Amino acid sequence: MAVVSTPTTLAPSLPALDNTEVGRIRNDFPVLDQLVNGRRLVYLDSGATSQNPLSVIEAEQEFYEQRNAAVHRGAHHLAVEATEVFEDARQTVADFIGAGYEETVWTSNATEGLNLISYALSNAALWAAQGRGDKRLKDLAVGPGDEIVVTEMEHHANLIPWQELAFRTGATLRYVPIDDSGALQLEQAQGIVGDRTKVLAFTHASNVLGVINPVQELVALARRAGALVVLDACQSAPHMALDVRALDVDFAVFSGHKMLAPTGIGVLYGKQELLDVLPPFLTGGSMITTVTMDRAEYLPAPQRFEAGTQRISQAVALAAAVNYLTETGMDRIHRWESELGQRMVSGLERIDGIRVLGPASGQERIGLAAFDVTGVHAHDVGQFLDSRGIAVRVGHHCAQPLHRRLGLTATTRASAYLYNTTDDVDDFLDAVSGVRAYFQA
């Protein structure tokens, strides 16, 4: 099985990224060429929302200029062209993650994808109880006595939908704890994931800790228990090669706005044999075969889960973003961001009064670092950095339980992407080194 979290050897024709090439890449991102508070913009908030290259902006604009029409609904020329580029985009994204065309569902974002899965699983119990749908539904139904397992480091989007699924069905929610360094306690996980586990949902890479979780070990636990695996790939799909079939997860989600695409588009991957059985989440037009006044029959995936007018231009733009990432090289991007992440962490560790969350310098992490400054609130740190043209994220990063476990209410997070240079990181570190003196902390 491929180990997706470890970069593979670079092909001779694709040398490692360096500051010179990244400088050329930056020319594709017009938003980066500006001053903020009289300083050059250092954008280190891509973990929340990435910037868009010209090719992505132009792809969405070209759709509206040349072929704007509803998909799957018309026989006229524009409708046919719109449908073609919409479905071509699906295939592009499917290829990017090693999935099949029928296994790739458009959503508004990863959060919608996770809610889709959780509601489909609770609907499975209703359908199975009424003898509706495929007989395999009873094996997917979640109910009293069943357990749903998450981890203590999850983003709220991969926690609250499972809390609500437990509430709706009478199942029990459990979690795999982390240790003081932020690593999952896998020995405890072996006693938590068991015969009653129906779902194991976890993040591939933490949006706070930067840690890359051992997907293969967690999947193995789920397989022994006969549980479904749901992977939050929001912080991995944009930054490293991802092969959902090699990882053997049942479902995976990610958002376009974190990987050079516009907001309003996300992806749900699901194994075809599961998607074709699960009841739909949203219902309406475009996802049905036959409708009477009493009931409806539904299309197979992916249309089964795509009710109503779709996110057409956004899907086209996401495909353009995927092409940009692919042409740059995902392994090259991962190696470069890992270098930037190490530079961040090692630099922060040398500054007095700084506590960095997650793996220490020298240990594998994605290109982000969340940290606490002794005596200074994260929001004040963020405003201080902004005054120097440096954009970072502050707050609990939609991970309150994780922060609570580590004795914090908020942190400052810097997150890099393929358009950041070592100068960006050094400017950031130089600014952070002056925070405590400025606030007299």
Same domain? 257 vs 368:
no
Question: What mean pLDDT, rounded, does the chain reach?
Answer: 95
- Note the pLDDT tens digit of each residue in 303-356: 999 999 999 999 999 999 999 999 999 999 999 999 999 999 999 999 999 999
- Indicate if 234 belongs to the active site: no
Mean pLDDT of 414-427: 98
Q: How confident is the model at residue 13 (pLDDT cuts 50, 70, 90)?
A: low
- For residue 207, the Cα-to-chain-centroid distance in whole angstroms is 9
212 lies in the same domain as 339: no
Distance CA 266, CA 253 (A): 7
Number of domains in the chain: 2
Q: Which of 10, 32, 36, 398 is catalytic?
A: 398
One domain for residues 191 and 67? yes
Mean pLDDT of 65-82: 92
Give the pLDDT band (50/70/90) at residue 2. Answer: very low
* Residue keyed to tokens 């959902």: 244
pLDDT at 360: 95
Question: Is residue 156 domain-shared with residue 182, that is, in the same domain?
Answer: yes
pLDDT tens-place string over residues 222-254: 999 999 999 999 999 999 999 999 999 999 999
> Per-residue pLDDT for 4 more than 70?
no
pLDDT tens per residue, range 75-87:
899 999 999 999 9
What are the Cα distances from residue 276, in Å, to 10, 107, 273, 303, 314? 38, 17, 6, 10, 25
Identify whether 2 is part of a domain.
no
Asked if pLDDT for residue 1 goes beyond 70, the answer is no
Q: Tell me the C-alpha distance between 36 and 45, whole Å.
A: 15
Write out pLDDT tens, residues 194-203.
Answer: 999 999 999 9
Domain with 336, as residue range(s), is 19-53+329-438
Per the structure block, which two tokens stand in for 119?
A: 């509601």
Q: What pLDDT, on a 0 to 100 scale, did the predictor assign at position 18?
A: 97
* Domain end among 311, 326, 341: 326
